[in-house]
């Protein structure tokens, strides 16, 4: 047979048809089609289920362990769900006296902080330029040796006072270890990062003679007058306050609590309040005193308290017969509703109504601390608000305000100091706190950058940072960056590669809070003593060490009296010994509380020179402070002017704090960043809130790009039109603008602190900044 064209076609067509028919009768097509559907599922990331193998939580035995959250000063109890040794979920701990089962978004996202890519995996030494983010791994011995060498060298040269330490808190055994270390080493420079506590502690010290911060009986108050406090925005111990808020908002209209928000911006708290008074920013103290005027004038105050337990309400005269002005005369003459209305922008009728409603309420409570309470604030403003509480007699009362009590723990033996330590400790602090200029203030957390920048070189030779991110959180970022450049040796003990760690020379990573032991003293704003126990619920994921142990190793290697100050073997011994008889309960229950605690009665409550609640601050004279005659001794309105001149900067910029955006020492985790709205953050661009009227003046519309400029810096932002912000005021969310951390956070938005400056309170020296002048230009 000849293979001609016809045969070829017949053969090939025949074969092909046969092949086709044959293959159709085999499983090849059908099976492959089926397999292809499954195979193709893995081709696109969103369907890659199999690809997640190894990254998905493993299966296995589920266990739960209780601990405490340390991501903010709120100190909530948490229950950690684990599968084998892998933490899979963090929940609020049921029955915990702070949060009783509740948890905030940041607390839930703690898991991402545990396993996230921003953990510092081992001790690191800076390899490139400061801020280049280049580090190399070193061993623990090398890292500790470097610190010991540097500190030993400084001490030998009599420079021990040039070592400073910045901490997020000064309570609990770990901050105490830092304090003890500096004391034995010979430096006075222990600095606590800024918060409203700074000012509140001072105000309570002056008015009540207390050495503690404030505690509010929020749950039982039934008229809450908030001076800009973001009650459901993360103020105080966030879950506790939100739970109290639910109590206020429930019940029938007759006996449910009234919430009044005084704030220039319609925050969530303002939106949920019964009344919102958009006060001119920075004039809150004037409003408080205006309310006091009505309460005094109409005799609505608690006369039992005011007459018997206060000092300086009425005019008084001293032994020489000299007469001094009392608080009563001050408010009656200076804070008449008309004048207050002009200052604050709140109408006279509203001021009168609010004052009457507040004073006549069953359990009224005025709370203070802007936003989340992350800035220090003005002393007189704090005192003016606290004076309202005194007028209605709610000091140490049910639903009132008291000092924050602590669970008593065992004191440590005194430090025996050598000559260097004594000499160094008595040098003035770099931030100026406790000096003749600011004798009453303990820490001035916003003042150290200026001391370094303005002082002689070498003011600070070494900086140790623990549980704080001063590089990011301190007001006026440019000054902070410059100050950091002036510190030759920066050591961070951070668990995460935060801003400060990123600019440090050495990182000695602490265990994550789910990996370590620590005691958690009474959380911020609580009125009853609670001591929580942080305990390891998961084994350390990286080559990290407990900061307490590391600090003690450093001390021991420094030798001499510094080593002698730490007679303990390790941190766990410190903790157990300090907790004393509480340890058993702590270990078993996870916390110790004094449920029956009652604040002391009025007659025993005040440690002031007069033994009473002081409207007139006698402590000023005792401390040798120079204040204005009469009025300077009383809570009064002293305008804190926003920085910048109003012709160049016609607008006012204020920070806005959100519950979904962490703005403290912890970078916002991806879970929370994801929860930001498209009118807050879009891609990497941050929105600022602008009133449509203001926007119209500058030709800006929704989503338009604009240049925001303040005397301290400028940044490109997007405009979000919002009628809840006063015309002429712009609000910028706080907490973004990180350069450190990872792709989920770095490069997103603008750091509000980089646009703000420090306006010092004349008495305390703390930052009283509430905003800054700004301008907005279309780009």
Partner 1 sequence: MSTTEEKEQTVAQGEQEEEVPVEATPEPEKPGTWRFLIPIAAFGVGFLMHLFVGWVIFPPLLYSEKQQPIDFSHKIHEEAVDEGCESCHFFREDGSFSGIPGLENCAECHEEPMGEHREEAKLIKEYIEPGKEIPWYVYSRQPQCVFFSHAAHVKMGELECATCHGPIGDSDHTRPYQYNRLTKYSRDIYGWNIAMLSKNAWDYTEMDDSGGMKIEHPARMKMDDCAECHEEMRGVKDACFVCHK
Smaller CB distance to partner 1: residue 31 or 134?
31
Instruction: State the minimum distance, in angstroms, from the CB of residue 239 to partner 1.
Output: 27
Q: Map residue 525 onto helix, strand or coil.
A: strand
User: What is the crossing angle of helices 379-391 and 284-297, to 10°?
Assistant: 30
13 lies in the binding site for partner 1 (CB under 8 A): yes
Instruction: State the minimum distance, in angstroms, from the CB of residue 56 to partner 1.
Output: 7
User: What is the spatial distance between Cα 429 and Cα 197, in angstroms, rounded to a whole number?
Assistant: 20
Contacts of 281 (CB under 8 A, 6+ apart): 264, 642, 652, 654, 726, 729, 770, 771
Q: Map residue 652 onto helix, strand or coil.
A: strand
Instruction: State the minimum distance, in angstroms, from the CB of residue 36 to partner 1.
Output: 7
User: What is the spatial distance between Cα 482 and Cα 469, in angstroms, rounded to a whole number?
Assistant: 16
109-138: contacts with partner 1 (CB under 8 A): none
Burial category of 657 from C-beta neighbours within 10 Å (exposed 0-12, middle 13-18, buried 19 and up) = buried
Smaller CB distance to partner 1: residue 19 or 705?
19
Instruction: State the minimum distance, in angstroms, from the CB of residue 22 to partner 1.
Output: 3
Contacts of 440 (CB under 8 A, 6+ apart): 202, 205, 206, 619, 623, 625, 763, 764
Tell me how far apart the 2 most distant CA atoms of the chain are, in Å: 142
Instruction: Pick the piece of the chain touching partner 1 (CB under 8 A) from 16-24, 248-256, 306-314, 480-488.
Output: 16-24
Instruction: Pick the piece of the chain touching partner 1 (CB under 8 A) from 6-14, 175-183, 480-488, 534-542.
Output: 6-14
Smaller CB distance to partner 1: residue 85 or 153?
85
Smaller CB distance to partner 1: residue 62 or 398?
62
Smaller CB distance to partner 1: residue 49 or 271?
49
Is residue 465 a contact partner of residue 490, using CB atoms and an 8 Å limit? Answer: yes
15 lies in the binding site for partner 1 (CB under 8 A): yes
Instruction: State the minimum distance, in angstroms, from the CB of residue 35 to partner 1.
Output: 4
Instruction: State the minimum distance, in angstroms, from the CB of residue 49 to partner 1.
Output: 4
Smaller CB distance to partner 1: residue 11 or 707?
11
Give 122's DSSP letter: S
Smaller CB distance to partner 1: residue 25 or 411?
25
Contacts 24+ apart (CB under 8 A), 538-541: 538/80, 538/82, 538/85, 538/86, 538/87, 538/114, 538/514, 539/85, 539/515, 540/511, 540/512, 540/515, 541/114, 541/115, 541/119, 541/512, 541/515
Smaller CB distance to partner 1: residue 6 or 129?
6
Q: Map residue 455 onto helix, strand or coil.
A: coil
664-693: contacts with partner 1 (CB under 8 A): none
Instruction: State the minimum distance, in angstroms, from the CB of residue 51 to partner 1.
Output: 9
Q: Which of 134, 88, 230, 91 is nearest to 735 (CA)?
A: 230
Smaller CB distance to partner 1: residue 32 or 304?
32
Smaller CB distance to partner 1: residue 56 or 271?
56
Q: Which of 216, 617, 634 is nearest to 394 (CA)?
A: 216
Instruction: State the minimum distance, in angstroms, from the CB of residue 25 to partner 1.
Output: 6
Smaller CB distance to partner 1: residue 17 or 696?
17
Smaller CB distance to partner 1: residue 64 or 603?
64
Instruction: State the minimum distance, in angstroms, from the CB of residue 82 to partner 1.
Output: 12
342 lies in the binding site for partner 1 (CB under 8 A): no
User: What is the crossing angle of helices 547-558 and 173-185, to 10°?
Assistant: 20
Instruction: State the minimum distance, in angstroms, from the CB of residue 28 to partner 1.
Output: 5
Smaller CB distance to partner 1: residue 49 or 623?
49
| Residues counted in the chain | 779
Instruction: Pick the piece of the chain touching partner 1 (CB under 8 A) from 7-15, 152-160, 179-187, 447-455.
Output: 7-15
Smaller CB distance to partner 1: residue 36 or 408?
36
Instruction: State the minimum distance, in angstroms, from the CB of residue 536 to partner 1.
Output: 20
Give CA angle at 174 (168, 175), nearest 5°: 45
User: What is the spatial distance between Cα 588 and Cα 536, in angstroms, rounded to a whole number?
Assistant: 14
18-77: contacts with partner 1 (CB under 8 A): 18-23, 25-28, 30-32, 34-36, 38-39, 49-50, 52-53, 56, 59-62
Instruction: State the minimum distance, in angstroms, from the CB of residue 105 to partner 1.
Output: 24
Q: Which of 11, 739, 143 is nearest to 492 (CA)?
A: 143
Instruction: Pick the piece of the chain touching partner 1 (CB under 8 A) from 13-21, 96-104, 224-232, 729-737.
Output: 13-21
Q: How many amino acids of this chain bind partner 1 (CB under 8 A)?
A: 36
Instruction: State the minimum distance, in angstroms, from the CB of residue 57 to partner 1.
Output: 11
Instruction: State the minimum distance, in angstroms, from the CB of residue 30 to partner 1.
Output: 7
Contact pattern for partner 1 over residues 401 through 440, marking x by CB under 8 A? ----------------------------------------
User: What is the spatial distance between Cα 725 and Cα 742, in angstroms, rounded to a whole number?
Assistant: 32
Q: Which of 333, 292, 289 is nearest to 638 (CA)?
A: 289
Token readout for 317 is: 């005269």
User: What is the spatial distance between Cα 492 and Cα 126, in angstroms, rounded to a whole number?
Assistant: 11
Torsion from C-alpha of 387, 390, 395, 398, nearest 10 degrees? -110
Smaller CB distance to partner 1: residue 49 or 398?
49
Instruction: State the minimum distance, in angstroms, from the CB of residue 90 to partner 1.
Output: 19
Smaller CB distance to partner 1: residue 11 or 271?
11
Contacts 24+ apart (CB under 8 A), 244-248: 244/218, 244/219, 245/272, 247/219, 248/221, 248/222, 248/224
User: What is the spatial distance between Cα 611 and Cα 301, in angstroms, rounded to a whole number?
Assistant: 21
Residue with tokens 């007139």: 616
Instruction: State the minimum distance, in angstroms, from the CB of residue 4 to partner 1.
Output: 10
Contact residues: partner 1, CB under 8 A: 7, 10-23, 25-28, 30-32, 34-36, 38-39, 49-50, 52-53, 56, 59-62
């Amino acid at each position: 047979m000849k293979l001609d064209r016809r045969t070829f076609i017949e053969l090939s067509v025949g074969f092909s048809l046969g092949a086709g028919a044959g293959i159709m009768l085999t499983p090849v097509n059908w099976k492959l089609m089926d397999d292809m559907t499954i195979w193709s599922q893995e081709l696109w990331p969103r369907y890659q289920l199999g690809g997640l193998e190894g990254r998905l939580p493993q299966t296995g035995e589920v266990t739960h362990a209780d601990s405490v959250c340390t991501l903010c000063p709120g100190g909530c109890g948490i229950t950690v769900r684990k599968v084998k040794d892998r933490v899979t979920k963090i929940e609020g701990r049921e029955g915990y006296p702070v949060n009783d089962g509740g948890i905030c978004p940041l607390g839930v996202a703690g898991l991402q902080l545990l396993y996230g890519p921003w953990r510092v995996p081992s001790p690191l030494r800076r390899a490139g330029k400061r801020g280049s983010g280049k580090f190399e791994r070193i061993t623990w011995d090398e890292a500790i040796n470097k610190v010991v060498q540097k500190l030993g060298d400084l001490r030998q040269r009599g420079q021990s006072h040039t070592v400073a330490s910045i901490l997020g808190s000064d309570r609990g055994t770990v901050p105490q270890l830092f304090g003890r270390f500096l004391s034995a080493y010979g430096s006075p420079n222990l600095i606590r990062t800024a918060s409203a506590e700074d000012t509140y502690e001072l105000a309570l010290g002056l008015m009540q003679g207390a050495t503690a911060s404030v505690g509010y009986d929020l749950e039982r108050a039934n008229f809450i007058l908030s001076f800009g406090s973001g009650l459901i925005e993360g103020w105080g111990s966030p879950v506790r306050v939100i739970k109290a808020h639910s109590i206020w908002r429930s019940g029938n209209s007759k006996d449910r609590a009234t919430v009044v928000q005084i704030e220039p911006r319609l925050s969530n708290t303002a939106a949920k309040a019964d009344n919102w008074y958009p006060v001119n920013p920075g004039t809150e103290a004037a409003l408080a005193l205006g309310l006091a005027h009505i309460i005094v004038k109409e005799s609505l105050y608690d006369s039992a308290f005011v007459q018997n337990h206060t000092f300086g309400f009425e005019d008084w005269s001293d032994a020489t017969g000299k007469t001094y002005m009392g608080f009563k005369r001050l408010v009656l003459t200076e804070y008449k509703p008309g004048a207050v209305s002009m200052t604050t922008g709140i109408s006279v009728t509203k001021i009168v109504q609010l004052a009457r409603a507040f004073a006549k309420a069953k359990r009224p409570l005025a709370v203070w601390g802007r936003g989340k309470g992350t800035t220090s604030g003005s002393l007189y403003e704090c005192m003016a608000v606290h004076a309202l509480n005194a007028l209605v007699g709610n000091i140490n009362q049910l639903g009132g305000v008291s000092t924050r009590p602590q669970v008593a723990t065992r004191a440590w033996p005194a430090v025996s100091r050598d000559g260097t330590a004594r000499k160094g400790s008595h040098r003035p602090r770099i931030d100026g706190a406790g000096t003749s200029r600011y004798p009453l203030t303990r820490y001035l957390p916003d003042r150290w950058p200026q001391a370094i920048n303005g002082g002689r070189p070498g003011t600070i030779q070494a900086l140790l940072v623990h549980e704080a991110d001063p590089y990011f959180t301190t007001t006026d970022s440019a000054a902070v960056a410059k100050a950091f450049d002036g510190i030759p040796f920066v050591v961070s003990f951070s668990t995460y590669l935060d801003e400060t760690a990123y600019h440090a020379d050495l990182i000695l990573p602490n265990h994550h809070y789910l990996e370590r032991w620590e005691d958690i003293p009474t959380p911020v704003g609580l009125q009853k003593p609670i001591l929580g126990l942080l305990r390891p619920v998961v084994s350390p994921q990286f080559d990290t060490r407990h900061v307490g142990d590391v600090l003690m190793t450093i001390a021991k290697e420094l030798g001499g009296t510094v080593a002698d100050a730490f007679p303990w073997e390790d941190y766990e011994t410190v903790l157990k010994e300090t907790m004393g008889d509480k340890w058993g309960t702590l270990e078993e229950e996870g916390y110790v509380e004094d449920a029956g605690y009652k604040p002391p009665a009025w007659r025993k409550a005040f440690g002031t020179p007069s033994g009473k609640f002081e409207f007139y601050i006698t402590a000023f004279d005792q401390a040798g402070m120079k204040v204005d005659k009469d009025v300077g001794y009383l809570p009064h309105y002293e305008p804190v002017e926003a920085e910048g001149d109003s012709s160049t900067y016609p607008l006012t910029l204020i920070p806005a704090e959100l519950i979904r955006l962490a703005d403290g020492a912890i970078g916002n985790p991806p879970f929370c960043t994801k929860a930001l709205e498209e009118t807050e953050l879009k891609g990497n661009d941050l929105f600022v809130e602008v009133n449509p009227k203001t926007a119209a003046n500058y030709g800006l519309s929704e989503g338009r790009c604009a240049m925001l400029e303040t005397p301290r810096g400028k940044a490109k932002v997007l405009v979000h039109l919002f009628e809840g912000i006063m015309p002429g005021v712009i609000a910028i969310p706080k907490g973004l603008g990180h350069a450190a951390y990872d792709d989920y956070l770095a490069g997103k938005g603008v750091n509000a602190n980089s646009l703000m400056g420090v306006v010092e309170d004349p008495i305390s020296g703390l930052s009283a900044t509430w905003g800054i002048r700004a301008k907005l230009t279309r780009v």
